[in-house]
Structure 1
């Protein structure tokens, strides 16, 4: 069962992008005891998102769009966030 931060990430990205695919992967266990591990079990995430909103948008702008939708989560409430954002038909 996803924790509160993973749930909030899912809710915010779903509302902002109406994604065809959204995977919010908690990578925190792989970083236990490392820098940025705050002990909550929700410090490191990977987001894989596919949305028509990313059509014609470069990789850097896609990452900015995702970070903007997530507000204070990246860098403040989550130590690390890897973003893989795709337009329809791009995801491998």
Structure 2
């Protein structure tokens, strides 16, 4: 449908004598129709891009599922921070996880981190470059302000 309108509109511009009796009206209507189609297309494209940008990636989903299942998390945030680093757009290499679980009761912070790292060992071997972990018990989470601190800006590596 859009192609047909575009073709008709373009042919009217190339062969004005065909529509000379009512060229102004036809061009105005065609321009409006063409504008309406392109406007609708642009809105759809913008919405699609916004949804894709906010949609979790494959690795993010795997991390979320493994931690939810393995720790029976009461609260879980998986944040892809790859965009903050010098990696290709859409990369899934740098993550922050905030996980609250009863399984952390009685464990030191290092043991909590080891537990999370053990659950995600395959991802850490195959592409996840950095993992920031906030591991809390439900009591610690309830006593906190529940605000996830932003990670520092990437310094570019190599001691920069």
The normalised TM-score by structure 2 is 0.52
Does residue 53 (structure 1) correspond to residue 103 (structure 2)? The answer is yes
1:82 and 2:136 are equivalent in the alignment: no
Runs of 4+ in 1 over 4 A off after TM superposition: none
Distance 1:42 1:84 in 2: 19
Who is 1:14 aligned against? 68
Q: Higher helix share goes to which structure?
A: 2
Could you say which residue in structure 2 is the equivalent of 1:26? 80
Aligned residues: 87
- More contact order relative to length (CA 8 Å, sep ≥ 6): 1
Tell me the alpha carbon deviations over residues 64-88 of structure 1, each in whole angstroms, 9 at most, x when there is no partner: 0001111211253201000100011
Q: Computing the radius of gyration over CA atoms, which structure comes out larger, 1 or 2?
A: 2
* Correspondence 1:30-45 to 2 at 5 A: 30-31=84-85, 33=86, 37=87, 39=88, 40-45=90-95
Question: Can you give the 5+ residue segments of structure 2 that lack an aligned partner in the other structure?
Answer: 1-54, 145-160
RMSD: 1.1
Higher strand share: 1
In structure 1, runs of 5+ residues without a counterpart are: none
DSSP-derived class of the 2:138 partner: coil
SS in 1 for 2:140: coil
1:64-83 residue pairs with structure 2 within 5 A? 64-83=114-133
